[in-house]
Structures are given as C-alpha cells and as structure tokens.
Amino acid sequence: MAKKPLFTKQIAIKRPTATKGAKAKQGQQEPPKIEFPCADYPIKVVGRGIPGYDALVIETVRRLCPDLDTKKVHAKDSGKGTFRSITLYITAQSEAHLGELHRELTALDCVQMVI
C-alpha cells in the first residue's frame, strides 16, 4: 500500500515587488520619515539600575536638549530590578541631533541600549 504524502497542497510563493528604496534609485525621492523639528519625540534609555542612573541620563539629555520637560520623564525597573528604563520626550531638531544624542548616551558605561 502506497503512503499518502503529508502535504497535498501546493503553495505559491510570491516574489517581492520593488521596494521604496528601489523607487528612490530610479530617481523618485522618498518623503522624509520624520519632519524636523519633531516635538515629543520619544527616546527610551535602558541600563543598569544603579544609584544615580536617572539623574545621569537626564543630565546627559538636558545638555543636548535644554528644553527637556522632566514632568514627561517615565522610569521603570525590570522585574528583578537589575535594569531600569527611562523614557524621555524631546524636541528632535535633526537627524544629526538624534545621532549626537545617541552617541552621548551610549558612551555612558551604565547604558545598555538607546531606542
């Protein structure tokens, strides 16, 4: 007696269509993903939950974003308390501004990730 195959349906595989990047290469320009200045741009900083972590992160962000509203800063500890995340809302001025902020924050020894 012949065994029946487990899968009897054939699946059609779709090939990907041209992406936005492909259109840009053809001379069409993509609209900017973020329009600057961008108010209330969220930044999440995750790091070791050490004493003074919040103050260090806020001080670093405030150097580059003097208009930081600390009332909008939210912090949360991980389940075991090993890590702490801080979400800050800034007015992003440009991609360069965001890049500089990312470099400054990731340069801190206690920071693991900036999202």
- 39-91 tens-digit pLDDT: 999 999 999 999 999 999 999 999 999 999 999 999 999 999 999 999 999 99
72 belongs to a structural domain: yes
- Does this model's pTM top 0.75? no
Query: Does the pLDDT at position 98 exceed 90?
Result: yes
87 belongs to a structural domain: yes
16 belongs to a structural domain: no
15 belongs to a structural domain: no
Lowest mean pLDDT among 18-22, 34-38, 94-98: 18-22
- Domain extent for 59: 33-114
Q: If you average pLDDT over residues 12-19, what whole number do you get?
A: 54
63 belongs to a structural domain: yes
Total domains in the chain come to 1
* Residues 25-52 pLDDT 10s: 566 777 668 899 999 999 999 999 999 9
Q: 37 preceded by cis ω (within 30°)? A: yes
**Residue 57: exposed, middle, or buried by beta-carbon count in 10 A (0-12, 13-18, 19+)?**
buried
DSSP at 46: E
27 belongs to a structural domain: no
9 belongs to a structural domain: no
Angle between helices 53-64 and 95-106 (to 10 degrees): 150
CATH of the domain at 65: 3.30.70.260
26 belongs to a structural domain: no
Query: Does the pLDDT at position 19 exceed 70?
Result: no
Give pLDDT, residue 9.
Answer: 47
